[in-house]
Amino acid sequence: MPHGVVTGIIFALTPTVVVGLIFWFVMRAIMRADRTERAAYAKVEAEERARFEREHGVPAPTPASAE
């Protein structure tokens, strides 16, 4: 068990700091995965639009104009 004030402070703050770091790493991984997924989706959608325009000779409809 801790006997000094400084040791007690360290023992009290360590779990909070560790959990905070774990949370930060998890959130960072989620944000990076989302960014990568959005970039991949945009690339696939651009390829599909280009293919549609080649096959049909007209601009591909956008989600806003599809209504």
pLDDT digits (tens, 9 = 90+) for 12-67: 999 999 999 999 999 999 999 999 999 999 999 999 999 988 888 877 777 765 44
Terminal-to-terminal C-alpha distance of the chain: 68
Structure tokens at 3: 């006997």
pTM: 0.64
Q: Is 59 helix (H, G, I), strand (E, B) or coil?
A: coil
- Give the C-alpha separation, 41 to 2, whole Å: 53
What pLDDT, on the 0 to 100 scale, is given for residue 23?
A: 98
What pLDDT, on the 0 to 100 scale, is given for residue 47?
A: 92
